[in-house]
């Protein structure tokens, strides 16, 4: 907390600005896109503050940074989703989940966690299916599969049952779960029925998810510092 907390102060301030201004979604503009993306920009700075050499040396951290970049582009597209840019935003976030999955890695495999996430993802799609039509029938299926896979890799990496977990792995796991809650709320609100306070739920869980996933990138830095001290 002492080492990473101060680097996150700009993110918390930017998040507060977003919720205080609460710009109407009915009148999209480049200013509203900037305000929405500003907390994610701050997470770029958070990772870059650890040094370019650190990002180059640790692929997981650089992939999470790349995921945050695609997320910001996706956020901008979603500002104009009513003008036909929803699919563009969906594509950007699909790439984000691929990058995060790659950052979390495939070890340990943990097939039980994979089965659980598969059941959760299948249940979500089964619920949404009757409300979908046209290309969204397939696009949403692919997207759910990708975010479910990302969630599996985050949960598997935590290794809670083996008592090998770290606070950064826990951050990745909680972040992935919050991301799924945020995206599921978007899907239900867009395709099924209005969700009360949907925007608050979507953005609060989304910003928290991105912060926690960004925090998980510093694990390799933590291990490196530990080796230097010993």
Region 142-165: mean pLDDT is 87
Residues 9-21 pLDDT 10s: 999 999 999 999 9
At residue 5, the pLDDT reads 87
225 pLDDT higher than 60:
no
> For the residues of 104-164, what is the DSSP string, one character each?
H-S-S--HHHHHHHHHHHHHHHHHHHTT--TTHHHHHHHHHHHHHHHHHHHHHHH-TTTT-
Q: For residue 166, what pLDDT band results from cuts at 50, 70 and 90?
A: confident
Region 23-38: mean pLDDT is 95
Residues in the chain: 230
Collapse the DSSP code of 200 into the 3-class scheme (helix H, G, I; strand E, B; otherwise coil) and give the result. Answer: helix
Share of the chain above pLDDT 90, in %: 85
179 pLDDT higher than 90:
yes
Q: For residue 39, what pLDDT band results from cuts at 50, 70 and 90?
A: very high
Share of the chain above pLDDT 70, in %: 92
165 pLDDT higher than 80:
no
| DSSP conformation class of 22 | -
User: Alpha carbon of 121 to those of 36, 83, 140: distances in Å?
Assistant: 27, 29, 11
Give me the number of domains the chain comprises.
Answer: 1
At residue 4, the pLDDT reads 87
Domain extent for 195: 2-227
Torsion sign, CA atoms 82, 68, 163, 155? positive
CB contact at 8 A, 124 and 76: no
């Amino acid at each position: 907390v002492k080492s990473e907390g101060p680097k996150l102060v700009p993110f918390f301030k930017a998040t507060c600005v977003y919720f205080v201004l609460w710009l109407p979604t009915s009148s999209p503009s480049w200013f509203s896109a900037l305000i929405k993306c500003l907390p994610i920009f701050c997470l770029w700075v958070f990772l870059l503050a650890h040094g370019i050499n650190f990002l180059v040396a640790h692929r997981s951290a650089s992939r999470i940074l790349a995921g945050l970049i695609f997320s910001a582009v996706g956020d901008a597209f979603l500002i104009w989703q009513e003008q036909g840019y929803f699919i563009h935003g969906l594509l950007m976030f699909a790439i984000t989940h691929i990058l995060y999955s790659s950052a979390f890695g495939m070890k340990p495999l943990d097939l039980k966690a994979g089965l659980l996430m598969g059941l959760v993802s299948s249940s979500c799609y089964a619920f949404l299916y009757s409300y979908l039509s046209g290309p969204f029938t397939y696009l949403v299926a692919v997207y759910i599969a990708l975010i479910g896979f990302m969630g599996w890799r985050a949960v598997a990496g935590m290794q809670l049952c083996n008592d090998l977990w770290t606070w950064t792995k826990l951050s990745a796991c909680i972040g992935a779960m919050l991301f799924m809650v945020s995206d599921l709320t978007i899907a239900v609100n867009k395709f099924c029925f209005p969700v009360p306070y949907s925007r608050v739920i979507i953005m609060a869980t989304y910003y928290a998810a991105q912060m926690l996933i960004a925090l998980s990138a510093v694990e390799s830095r933590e291990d490196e510092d530990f080796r230097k001290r010993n």
